[in-house]
Structure 1
């Protein structure tokens, strides 16, 4: 395990040299004492945590409606009905009844139901002639009604879509126009309902999609390799999605400082968040300029980096050899504060556990960088994602997942009485307007009890 430090101030540090034959502990010294960068005072714009009135009763559905409000769903209904009218004008035999707000909430409930109870195809949820048939979806709406709503679901007005399509190839064209109305609503709700705690994480998230849109990306290191790439800001303490931005191309962030720089700065709005936050990121984003500029904006930052970059004011550079080399840059921490890690080492008498010094930036990075990964994990438990012909429907389903997951996190903050599965079950029941305790279809037996059996 090797620790190597590059900083504006120098200090004592240690190197453990290990080979198959020997283990040596070497101490290095330099002139000055290790000092942490100037501490930033934590001044959030609002009290961290949920921003709801504690005297109100908040059910899973009422929290979900904070993201998918009746106003937002009314817009979805209006645009969906307009799209169906266009299709009906072309195909006179096409049957359609305008969808209502309550019916669309039931539709959402079925999507979450299918997320919890996985079957091989959508039509299997309405099949009654096989061994694994389920009865619940048919009690909410017919299969044909579910499919026609899915086909016509629109987040923007079809006429406005055509106007935007005419601008293709110009600077005025918006690639995300079809999802923009709902996306902006969800982003605003994420920031209004919950204010994050001090430690934040920035990372990419992939939404699976192989449609040829010009926006889909390939990321070899991600579990989902093909899809839409989102830059996500998450609360490291619980995985709450604070904000996100969908990547549409290099021209999406045109400030001239590079994609990674612009992605981070676009998510960190000081007027919304406040100041003094600690932001953790990986080596795709970390650069001395970004960390220095964030420090000037009263944001501390810490992240892994790729090169040995030195001689930047307020920055501490740490290189530490664990199972592989780890390089971290920070405007928050001193290089070493006494942290240790446990590792198994081989000695002449066999393997034993030993403590080794670990740089403070590495310890903090490992502790707080997982905010987006935790968020992704919660999203995947009951994700509504499934195969669909329309690329914008993929993002719509992801917005549903964000709303349900963030609603669960807020509910847990408020009450802590439900686990994730119980929350989703209650949400489905409320959206569909049914009770969770559905009585069995048959209440009598068709045989005569045998005495003494």
Structure 2
């Protein structure tokens, strides 16, 4: 058989012959002896096969199929394991519906042009000024509600009853006092919790609220959900989930701006009892901890948050089939943007963890939200932008851009090359930024595309919230892994409520108080609000104290140091108006105190207690 006839020139419409069963070896030629050539045979398309016939081809295609005018030789039907079929090597035509929810043509190749896109005009955010600025406690209670406090008291009693057999009988009022102590501890930081009650370092602002033993008991048994539900749910944050859902409902009620950002938040935790819930991010201040994804306005107010727990993160969120096929970053942006009040008027700013061309198109097609974000270099590899090396040669401020389907890709050289994707604004109008020039030894103005300052201005909302939370942080070191998350909820309520309070003060042209004073005002109110005042002195016999009245805490007198007690210098008895228990004998009561040690001691004829107390 003539090989030139069989291996003629391939048609440009790219038809290829491949084995129907790819697992069979192409080198199996054991049936070549059974093949009989027929020079007068032309192949046709059978009714029951998908093979392409030469009769359906154009005349030019038939000519280009073979370099010789002689038709291809006829062969007997080969065995099924070596049979061939013709397939097209061209890309399939785009059969997607342009009116589909995604609005994407998966088979169509993107055409990138050197063109700018229009700027999306975001309306200015306008908030109605309140009649008057509320108190810090009222702002705090809009986020940390009475329902949350009652839930904590109920679950704490339930958990203590399951562990001890008898509840510790706490109440919402006592939980408020417990929260007040935690807020005070965030401002006044001591090395250890016991130091607030120790006689050598006693801090009366905290120690007078409740005894140390009661505080440790509450901290030991504080709980937020029933442990018996653990086996019936895929939720790995079950122990803290109810509190997060209540907080999320309140955050969604805060009026938001039209420019918001999405980023991750790390809640510090270095223990190992949480298993794989603990994440690691190298470029974060808290590298080890729990990961949350938040949506916040540029002022730092967080409006929505989502706990990350791996593959089961979206177990309680209804996602469509198209949304389930998205990457994690695109899925997170879609879920967090669904709770926006007016998504068609909003612009979302993301970092390179979330941003991709497909994510921007999906969010805009499904929700109408515009996006601007930095993007990783491996996600713009198909875009014909100039290389980083070529951009560096042009100097500071050089940039290149391409656009397709309303999305623009920009590469800008600052201190290093930065890649961005946007469908909200593009290059124009150009602005300038100041950068240091090594050649001129001074700062020079370099050109900057318009989407760069827009990204820098509105991307830092979650970073601002993190800074405010870490300024006065609730101490939450514990073996129980969910207590750091409870501390973050408490701190987030304070920072969010302070930012709302500050916004109301700006609307009414009033001067706001600092965050520290705001936190202390909330703590003092939690300690005293809706509680009976403790009477000073001994109550009269005619009016006995009510059963519900809390017993006043009497601090223990400070004890002298051993070096002072046994130095045998200056220890003189001093008569006191009040009397107290002897510090040496358990049953003695005396009006005499040691002038130097400041403790009551029995002073009888032999001065036995006074002498024995100062003798080693």
Alpha-carbon distance between aligned partners in 1 of 2:174 and 2:147, rounded to the nearest angstrom: 14
Q: Any conservation in 2 of the 1:8–1:314 contact (CA below 8 Å)?
A: no
1:314 equivalenced with 2:406 (yes/no) = yes
1:125 equivalenced with 2:196 (yes/no) = yes
Secondary structure class of the residue paired with 1:154: coil
Q: CA deviation at 1:70?
A: 1.3
Instruction: Trace 1:46-445 onto structure 2 (pairs within 5 A).
Output: 49=127, 54-55=130-131, 58-89=134-165, 97-128=168-199, 130=200, 132-157=201-226, 161-164=227-230, 166-167=231-232, 172-192=233-253, 194-209=254-269, 210-213=271-274, 214-236=276-298, 238-253=299-314, 255-269=324-338, 272-296=341-365, 297-307=367-377, 308=380, 309-310=382-383, 312-347=404-439, 350-415=440-505, 416-433=511-528
Aligned residues: 384
Q: Any conservation in 1 of the 2:261–2:461 contact (CA below 8 Å)?
A: yes
* Structure of greater relative contact order (alpha carbons < 8 Å, 6+ residues apart): 1
Alpha-carbon distance between aligned partners in 2 of 1:286 and 1:304, rounded to the nearest angstrom: 7
Give me the TM-score of the superposition, normalised by structure 2: 0.59
Q: Any conservation in 1 of the 2:343–2:369 contact (CA below 8 Å)?
A: no
Q: Any conservation in 1 of the 2:113–2:404 contact (CA below 8 Å)?
A: no
Alpha-carbon distance between aligned partners in 2 of 1:302 and 1:407, rounded to the nearest angstrom: 28
Alpha-carbon distance between aligned partners in 2 of 1:69 and 1:362, rounded to the nearest angstrom: 40
Secondary structure class of the residue paired with 2:286: coil
Q: CA deviation at 1:272?
A: 3.4
Unaligned ranges ≥5, structure 2: 1-109, 384-402, 506-510, 530-554, 556-594, 596-616
Higher alpha-carbon deviation: 368-377 or 261-270? 261-270
Q: Encode CA deviations 1:300-331: one digit per residue, 9 max, x unaligned.
A: 11111113253641111110111111111111
Higher alpha-carbon deviation: 137-146 or 253-262? 253-262
Q: Structure 1 residues 150, 7: closer, same or farther in 2, change over 3 A?
A: farther
Q: Encode CA deviations 1:47-86: one digit per residue, 9 max, x unaligned.
A: 7558xx9236621111111122112211111111111111
Q: Any conservation in 1 of the 2:273–2:479 contact (CA below 8 Å)?
A: no
Structure of greater Rg: 2
Q: CA deviation at 1:433?
A: 1.2
Q: Any conservation in 2 of the 1:73–1:101 contact (CA below 8 Å)?
A: yes
Q: CA deviation at 1:289?
A: 0.9
Alpha-carbon distance between aligned partners in 1 of 2:496 and 2:126, rounded to the nearest angstrom: 15
Unaligned ranges ≥5, structure 1: 1-5, 11-31, 435-440, 447-453
Alpha-carbon distance between aligned partners in 2 of 1:8 and 1:288, rounded to the nearest angstrom: 12
Q: Encode CA deviations 1:178-220: one digit per residue, 9 max, x unaligned.
A: 112111000010111x211121111111001133322110111
Give me the TM-score of the superposition, normalised by structure 1: 0.80
Q: Any conservation in 1 of the 2:431–2:448 contact (CA below 8 Å)?
A: yes
Q: Any conservation in 2 of the 1:239–1:373 contact (CA below 8 Å)?
A: yes
Alpha-carbon distance between aligned partners in 2 of 1:7 and 1:413, rounded to the nearest angstrom: 46
Secondary structure class of the residue paired with 1:140: coil
Q: Encode CA deviations 1:65-109: one digit per residue, 9 max, x unaligned.
A: 1122112211111111111111221xx8xxx64111111111111
More strand by share: 1
Alpha-carbon distance between aligned partners in 2 of 1:332 and 1:389, rounded to the nearest angstrom: 47
Q: Which residue of 2 aligns with 1:28?
A: none
Alpha-carbon distance between aligned partners in 1 of 2:208 and 2:187, rounded to the nearest angstrom: 17
Q: Structure 1 residues 48, 388: closer, same or farther in 2, change over 3 A?
A: farther
Alpha-carbon distance between aligned partners in 1 of 2:127 and 2:338, rounded to the nearest angstrom: 17
Alpha-carbon distance between aligned partners in 2 of 1:178 and 1:294, rounded to the nearest angstrom: 32
Higher alpha-carbon deviation: 360-369 or 75-84? 360-369
Q: Encode CA deviations 1:21-51: one digit per residue, 9 max, x unaligned.
A: xxxxxxxxxxx5x3326x36659xxx7558x
Alpha-carbon distance between aligned partners in 2 of 1:99 and 1:142, rounded to the nearest angstrom: 14
Secondary structure class of the residue paired with 2:263: strand
Q: Which residue of 1 aligns with 2:100?
A: none
Q: Any conservation in 1 of the 2:139–2:497 contact (CA below 8 Å)?
A: yes
Instruction: Trace 1:10-29 onto structure 2 (pairs within 5 A).
Output: 10=114
Q: Structure 1 residues 191, 376: closer, same or farther in 2, change over 3 A?
A: same
Alpha-carbon distance between aligned partners in 2 of 1:360 and 1:9, rounded to the nearest angstrom: 19
Q: Any conservation in 2 of the 1:206–1:227 contact (CA below 8 Å)?
A: yes
Alpha-carbon distance between aligned partners in 2 of 1:55 and 1:178, rounded to the nearest angstrom: 40
Q: Encode CA deviations 1:255-277: one digit per residue, 9 max, x unaligned.
A: 13121111111111256344321
